[in-house]
Amino acid sequence: MAGLATTFGSGAMTNSINEIPDAEMLFLIGTNTTEAHPVIGYKMREAKRKGAKLVVVDPRRTDLARIADYWLRLKPGTDIPLLNGIMHIILQEGLQDQQFISERTENFEALAKTVKDYQPDVVSSITGVPVEDLYAVARLYATTDKAMLFYTLGITEHICGTDNVMSIANLAMLTGHLGRPCTGVNPLRGQNNVQGACDMGALPNVFSGYQKVIDPVVRAKFEEAWGVSLPENPGLVIADMFEKAHTGELKAMYILGENPVLTDPNSNHIRSGLEKLDFLVVHELFLTETAEYADVVLPAASFAETEGTFTSTERRVQRVRKAIEPLPVLANWQTVIKLSQRMGYPMSYATPEEVWTEMASLTPSLAGINYQRLESDGIQWPCPTSEHPGTAFLHAGAFTRGKGLFQGIDHIPPGEVPDDEYPFLLSTGRILYHYNVTTPYSPGIHSMWSEEASEMNPDDAAKLGLATGDKVKVTSRRGDCVTNILVTDRVPPGMLWMSFHYANSPANALTSAVLDPVTKTGEYKVCAIKIEKI
């Protein structure tokens, strides 16, 4: 998000899901769409059936890599040299969109200067991708009119996540693939309401609609609406919260609907941070691994027990409707209100709709959306007025920040790479059948997929004397865990791939402590491990 916010002025999927079947080319980098976003994956397969060209960049042979026209099996953490190499070829062959560059962007010279050094043969040796594939993909993308770029956490969960994103944005601007249907830079947001949680200002530096807390005019608006004076300094991001818990500066936390012990990287560090807090409140559906550390656990209501809205990856605000009464009696919005009351700050909302109405009145990009308008199809923001139809694709005519900002970006290797002591590379991700750490609580799902199956290349399995179903102990510099092995050539030699869904094989006990310096996102995709048969 930070990457696109820098380049374009707003960090969100630029285009819409239902443009996919009409695209002529899909360029996927770091997204295993058919497993992480299955229904979007269906639409990609449909586009392919209708004749679209498919390019998949991924170290793993994902389902879409199997049917791709070009599968670029890059070495993990070499996305920037790959993208720079592709841009080098585009410029070398004069395939860039010169009109778009001169009318819609700035700082092109910096990009041209940087990518000049990324000769195809150099890039090939860094990334492991054959030179002829680099040429083919560069030509295909530059010369295809309706070409959509997609990425997910395979791009962002790196030490250079923000730089990776800006490199993708560079490529789209270089070829003019923005501001029209069936084009764009399309990050597929992970959870059901990542987009919404960001839009609502559940971030330490912005209020709803990305209005900055350091802006005195914005702060004055919220102070007047809320009747209190508000802090002017940005707050802590998650990684810093746990640092401050360790140093004793952070004393109390309230955690709603998150399980950082299983989902955040380097989980032993998270556990010890939680232990140091004076007071922890966890508001959850289940007594999770994180809730075990709480002083008070509040029972939460699920999505089926509340009215409200979610905002999908394509910026579409849609209704969530109450089907059954809240099991804990109080819905989550009611709990927060009751707590606020006791703290001496009454909040007087009778319904979630009233919460939305207040938020929309303070948030220009969502001001035109109300529950009546959401009744049938939802609305895609920006939607500034009640007459505005919503926005299917962003950046038509101009970018949010005015001109798109090219940046020259150089390769940054992963923070931890395999060595003699920890000779394997661990990468992590999602599988089709689970969603983070909620689905193990689904009796149906759990009955069919109850154990981790870490993917290992047949060459490595032969060397270690392992077969599918064998158990191994996996150790990194930060922790260890036990997992079953699945022998498959989906992964390249030297890599072990794990999901992070299972409490009894907690992959995040192993993952790296390295963070992207801008977003403080963990490098979940690369760390060094050793593997022992048990």
Partner 1 sequence: MNLVKLTINSREVEVQSGTTILKAAEKIGIDIPRLCYDDDLSPVGACRLCMVEVKGARSLVPACVTAVSPGMVVETESPVVIESRRTTLNLLISNHPLDCLICEKLGDCGLAEYCYKYGVKESTFQGERHDYVIEENNSFIIRDLNKCIQCGKCIRACDEWTGIHNLDFIYRGFDVKPATALDSTYVDSECVFCGNCVTVCPTGALTEKQMKRQGRRWEVQKVKTTCPFCGTGCNFDLNVKDGRITGVTANRTSIVNGRALCVKGHYGWDFVQNEKRLTTPLIKKDGEFMPATWDEALDLIANRLKGIKEQYGPDAFAALSSARCTNEENYLVQKFTRAVMGTNSVDHCART
Closer to partner 1 by CB, 174 or 431: give it: 431
Closer to partner 1 by CB, 153 or 456: give it: 153
From candidates 102, 143, 296, 517, binder to partner 1 by CB under 8 A? 296
Closer to partner 1 by CB, 140 or 236: give it: 236
From candidates 352, 408, 429, 506, binder to partner 1 by CB under 8 A? 352
6 is an interface residue for partner 1 by CB under 8 A: no
503 is an interface residue for partner 1 by CB under 8 A: no
Whole-angstrom distance, CA of residue 403 vs CA of residue 363: 23
From candidates 230, 398, 417, 503, binder to partner 1 by CB under 8 A? 230
Minimum CB–partner distance for residue 364 and partner 1 (Å): 15
32 is an interface residue for partner 1 by CB under 8 A: no
298 is an interface residue for partner 1 by CB under 8 A: yes
From candidates 278, 451, 489, 532, binder to partner 1 by CB under 8 A? 278
Binding window for partner 1 (CB under 8 A); candidates: 99-107, 120-128, 246-254, 382-390: 246-254
Contacts of 301 (CB under 8 A, 6+ apart): 326, 327, 328, 330, 331, 332
From candidates 116, 276, 319, 403, binder to partner 1 by CB under 8 A? 319
4 is an interface residue for partner 1 by CB under 8 A: no
Which amino acid is it at 23? Answer: A
Binding window for partner 1 (CB under 8 A); candidates: 99-107, 326-334, 385-393, 403-411: 326-334
Minimum CB–partner distance for residue 312 and partner 1 (Å): 3
Minimum CB–partner distance for residue 167 and partner 1 (Å): 15
Minimum CB–partner distance for residue 330 and partner 1 (Å): 7
195 is an interface residue for partner 1 by CB under 8 A: yes
Q: Which two tokens stand for residue 139?
A: 């030509």
Tokens 């807090």, located at residue: 277
15 is an interface residue for partner 1 by CB under 8 A: no
Nearest in space to 114 (alpha carbons), one of 412, 342, 373, 372: 412
Whole-angstrom distance, CA of residue 236 vs CA of residue 203: 9
Q: Where are the alpha helices (DSSP H) in 209-311?
A: 216-226, 238-247, 260-263, 267-276
83 is an interface residue for partner 1 by CB under 8 A: no
- For partner 1, the binding residues in 164-193 under the rule CB under 8 A are 188-193
CA of 344: how far to CAs of 40, 265, 347, 429, 497, in Å? Answer: 46, 37, 10, 43, 50
Closer to partner 1 by CB, 277 or 466: give it: 277
Number of residues interacting with partner 1: please give it, by CB under 8 A: 143
- For partner 1, the binding residues in 253-272 under the rule CB under 8 A are 253-258, 260, 263-264
Nearest in space to 490 (alpha carbons), one of 68, 44, 58: 58
Nearest in space to 509 (alpha carbons), one of 265, 239, 275, 276: 265
Minimum CB–partner distance for residue 461 and partner 1 (Å): 23
Q: Which two tokens stand for residue 390?
A: 């919503």
CB-side exposure of 295: number of CA atoms within 13 Å? 12
From candidates 128, 181, 299, 494, binder to partner 1 by CB under 8 A? 299
150 is an interface residue for partner 1 by CB under 8 A: no
Whole-angstrom distance, CA of residue 411 vs CA of residue 333: 45
452 is an interface residue for partner 1 by CB under 8 A: no
450 is an interface residue for partner 1 by CB under 8 A: no
Whole-angstrom distance, CA of residue 420 vs CA of residue 417: 10
- Mark 390-429 with x for binding to partner 1 (rule: CB under 8 A) and - for no binding: ----------------------------------------
Q: What does DSSP say about strands 206-207 and 296-299: parallel, antiparallel, or unpaired?
A: unpaired
Q: How many CB atoms lie within 10 A of CB 308?
A: 20
Which amino acid is it at 54? Answer: L
Minimum CB–partner distance for residue 218 and partner 1 (Å): 12
Q: Where are the alpha helices (DSSP H) in 308-450?
A: 332-342, 352-361, 371-374, 443-448
List residues bridging with 455 in a β-sheet: 486, 497
Whole-angstrom distance, CA of residue 183 vs CA of residue 13: 11
From candidates 58, 305, 452, 460, binder to partner 1 by CB under 8 A? 305
Which amino acid is it at 129? Answer: V
From candidates 6, 24, 42, 116, binder to partner 1 by CB under 8 A? 42
- For partner 1, the binding residues in 354-373 under the rule CB under 8 A are 355-356, 358-359
466 is an interface residue for partner 1 by CB under 8 A: no
Contacts of 508 (CB under 8 A, 6+ apart): 262, 263, 264, 265, 266, 267, 428, 500, 524
Nearest in space to 147 (alpha carbons), one of 304, 282, 26: 26
521 is an interface residue for partner 1 by CB under 8 A: yes
205 is an interface residue for partner 1 by CB under 8 A: yes
Closer to partner 1 by CB, 108 or 207: give it: 207
Which amino acid is it at 200? Answer: M
| Residue 21 near residue 148, CB atoms below 8 Å | no
